[in-house]
Structure 1
Amino acid sequence: MGHDIRYSPRTAIKSQALIDFVAEWTEVQLPTPDVTHEYWTMYFDGSVMAPDLGVGVVLISPDESRLRYAILLHFSASNNAVEYEALINRLRIAIELDATRLYVCGDSELVVDQVMKESSCKSPLMTAYYQEVHKLEDKFQGIKLHHVPQRDNDAADFLAKLAAQRDPSPSEVFINDIHEPSICILKGLT
């Protein structure tokens, strides 16, 4: 009964090539992670109504809650400085509220362009404001500024005018008084 049967194992090279081919050409079907960035949205505007100045800001949380601010400025400033004051003071509030990502919308093309580095600051005063905004930007994981037409910034515009006119405000509006500019103003800076 001498059958001449021999056992010879198959080499792993052929089977490994098949495994490598399948792994390379098959998409892995892992569940995609739920990514939420929790962006806050902020609209800001300033208003100069001689002799008074006002700032309006609307902060919208990721869950769509709206916080409305009317800020009375008790110092003299140009329209562009008032716009910067609106931006700076509400960035500080957003930081206090633990907002880490922020979409910022304003109708001041100059301020948005300067902050986004699309135009340069021509005066030392605007440079000082820009530098203050830049310091605050570092406190966020993500911040994007967008210029919006004035018609798309009506809620912040309403609040800015309300503050500048010193009119009584609705109960859901937070009122702040600011007595000094957000930046150190040196004599002769304009």
Structure 2
Amino acid sequence: MADFIVEWTEVQMPPAVIDQECWTMYFDGSLMKKGAGAGLVFVSPLGVHMRYMVWLHFPSSNNVAEYEALVNGLCIAIELGIRHLDIRGDSQLVVNQVMKESSCHDSKMAAYCQEVRWLEDKFDGLELNHVPRRLNDAADALAKAASSRELVPTGVFASDQHKPSVRYEGSDWAKDGPSDLALRADPPTIPFDSEVMELEEDPAAEPYPLDDWITPYLDYLLHDTLPMDKMEARWLTRRAKSFVLVEGELYRRSHIGIL
């Protein structure tokens, strides 16, 4: 009887269940002389990779950039409808603070940590793990490219963020309570029913008059004409990647293909 059990136990046991719903997200933040940025890599259960860059246009530290990468990544995951997420990052400080293995002595870090914990409730299953930098090289490269203000690589979704994702002591904006995403000027709103990482530009930063903002896009898309100013030309070519002409009408295209 013992030999029979040993021989047939493995055959009779049900096969291991493979989680077809769990996504993996790698995040990283970077601070350079030109500014700060965040990089994100999503890996679907089928192995499809989605890469994101976020330009941070406000005073930031390296730790703030790391937290911004994590918060933006969670917002993207929520909008994509992801319910199970395995998060991996190489910032020991961020991982330890979120996992309550270390305390937040800085008001900024405490505000970001609270934001992450609030967003966690939007998922059915979420894990946050620390990984060595060598295992986070893809997100690290995107973060460095964003902070260095490099051109967007092919196949990478990019966006600008002009204000912090959280309220903290000394910040120049406020909201009624923690994680009130709907009151933000730049990040996506909840419910996330429109575009992934569609962060609105600060009107003051627009190099063109608001009443004539369409003309430069049409000139570029129809006639390949760029402004004489190099900074304006670079700004236009980067932003034009989000637009498409359909029967003479200008549409903005979301990262998931919706016009």
> Where on the TM-score scale, by shorter chain, does this alignment land: which range?
0.7 to 0.9
The aligned counterpart of 1:167 is 150
d(CA) in 2 for partners of 1:175 and 1:108? 22
Name stretches of at least 5 consecutive residues in structure 1 with no aligned partner: 1-28
Do residues 71 (structure 1) and 19 (structure 2) align? no
CA contact (8 A) 2:34 2:149 kept: no
Q: CA-atom RMSD, angstroms?
A: 1.9
What fraction of aligned residue pairs are identical, expressed as a percent? 53
**CA shift digits 1:53-99 (9 cap, x unpaired):** 11100011111111100110000111111100000001000000011
The aligned counterpart of 1:130 is 113
| Counterpart pick for 2:132 among 144, 149, 166 | 149
| Counterpart pick for 1:46 among 22, 25, 29 | 29
Shift of residue 156, structure 1, vs aligned partner:
0.3
The aligned counterpart of 1:85 is 68
**CA shift digits 1:85-125 (9 cap, x unpaired):** 00000100000001101110000000001111111111111
Name stretches of at least 5 consecutive residues in structure 2 with no aligned partner: 1-11, 173-259
CA contact (8 A) 2:33 2:148 kept: no
Aligned residue for 1:43, secondary structure, equals: strand
Alignment of 1:91-130 (within 5 A): 91-130=74-113
> Which residue type is aligned with residue 55 of structure 1?
A
Distance 1:101 1:79, change over 3 A: same
d(CA) in 1 for partners of 2:158 and 2:98? 26
d(CA) in 1 for partners of 2:16 and 2:134? 38
User: Relative contact order (C-alpha < 8 Å, sep 6+): which is higher?
Assistant: 1
Aligned residue for 2:59, secondary structure, equals: coil
Distance 1:35 1:159, change over 3 A: closer
TM-score, structure 2 normalization: 0.59
Aligned residue for 2:104, secondary structure, equals: coil
The aligned counterpart of 1:185 is 168
CA contact (8 A) 1:37 1:101 kept: no
Aligned residue for 1:105, secondary structure, equals: strand
